[in-house]
Amino acid sequence: MKDLLDTDLLTKEEILLIIETALKLKKEGIKSLSLDGEIVSLLFFEPSTRTRNSFEIAAKKLGAIVVSMDTSGSSLVKGESALNTVRTLEAMGVNYFVIRHRDSGFPYPIAKKIQASVINAGDGTRGHPTQALLDALTMIEAKGDIFSKKVLIVGDILHSRVARSNIWLLKKLDADITLVGPPEFLPEEFKALDVNISYSLDEVISDADIVMGLRIQRERMEKMSISIEEYIKRYQINRERISKAKEDVIILHPGPVNVGIEMTEDILYSDRSLVERQVTNGVFIRMAILSLLKEMRTYGSNS
Ligand code: CP
């Protein structure tokens, strides 16, 4: 495996290897600067706080050189293509490209044309594999196992790359997934993913082991049919709803949270919420991915 493009392309064994490697790094600390001499390029064409900074921290902790290109101040604005930009950086010795872009599928053709590893840091509404991997690490740490756990993914499923990568990954780990949201965020096509669908959070919350809220992505839609007030009334993760859930339910959200809409502030910072632990785990998952990709490039793998 040269690249990490999405969770649908990973085997169950590869997913578990990444999670176990991250857990080991978290428990035992860094044993070697395994990326010493490697160069990691961060190419973010969309805003990011968590993904971009945690990749930079992860790469630097492992001893890599990190170059973060200001895409708006590069020769891209003179018309140079993304592929030529990446090839130019590869000619300077870059070994990894961490790419976020608003277009679904953006990193795939680039990965085919270069020797360096490409890591998808979010492509349009399609996927965000490193987020799904850190979510799974957080679930496994809290619950021991994901097998048969009832996971609710709540909110703007339609525009969420986090939801898609999580669905592919959680199905491989045999979780029991229910997508919850208003019909405009949960169209019929999602039934084909072989998951449960609910339009009522109140009907399904009592059985949940894990509740994952999603951000309403207004930048990816022209207008919302459901009003914010109605959304809050039917789908907000708040104290009243969580009081009807299991005592050991855990609450996740990839962030950034629209506080007071998807989730109330008291729930976000409650002892049921693992949102900050997700952020911490993001560094370890990205360290694991960077070091495993180097191992696979160096020693080879079947996939
Ligand atoms: N969860 C996530 O991708 O957050 P950022 O947009 O801040 O990277």
The full DSSP string for 100-128 is EESSTTTHHHHHHH-SSEEEEEEETTTB-
Ligand 1, atom nearest to 128 Cα = 3
Query: How does pLDDT run across 245-299, given as a tens digit for each residue?
Result: 999 999 999 999 999 999 999 999 999 999 999 999 999 999 999 999 999 888 7
Probe target for ligand 1 pocket from 42, 43, 44, 50, with the most ligand atoms within 8 Å of CB = 50
**Do both 108 and 229 map to the same domain?**
no
Ligand 1, atom nearest to 49 Cα = 7
- State how beta strands 65-69 and 150-154 pair: unpaired
302 pLDDT above the threshold of 70: no
CATH number at residue 42: 3.40.50.1370
Residue 71: the pLDDT is: 86
**Do both 153 and 244 map to the same domain?**
yes
CA of 123 to the centre of ligand 1 (A): 12
**Do both 61 and 188 map to the same domain?**
no
**Do both 257 and 161 map to the same domain?**
yes
Would 2 be classed as within a structural domain?
A: no
Write the residue with the smallest CA distance to atom 4 of ligand 1.
Answer: 50
Total-model pTM: 0.96
The answer to whether the CB of 156 falls within 8 A of the CB of 215 is yes
**Do both 41 and 93 map to the same domain?**
yes
Strand, helix or coil for residue 179: strand
Nearest residue to 213 via CA among 162, 279, 165: 162
Return phi, psi of residue 263, to 5°.
-155, 145
**Do both 27 and 162 map to the same domain?**
no
303 pLDDT above the threshold of 50: no
Would 284 be classed as within a structural domain?
A: yes
Would 291 be classed as within a structural domain?
A: yes
**Domain residues for 198?**
129-274
| Mean pLDDT computed over every residue of the chain | 95
Query: How does pLDDT run across 130-163, given as a tens digit for each residue?
Result: 999 999 999 999 999 999 999 999 999 999 999 9
**Do both 54 and 173 map to the same domain?**
no
Retrieve residue 253's tokens: 């959200």
State the Cα–Cα distance between residues 93 and 87, nearest whole angstrom.
Answer: 10
Number of domains in the chain: 2
The answer to whether the CB of 253 falls within 8 A of the CB of 263 is yes
**Do both 148 and 239 map to the same domain?**
yes
Ligand 1 contacts (CB < 6 A) are 48-51, 122, 128, 131, 254-256
Return phi, psi of residue 241, to 5°.
-70, -45
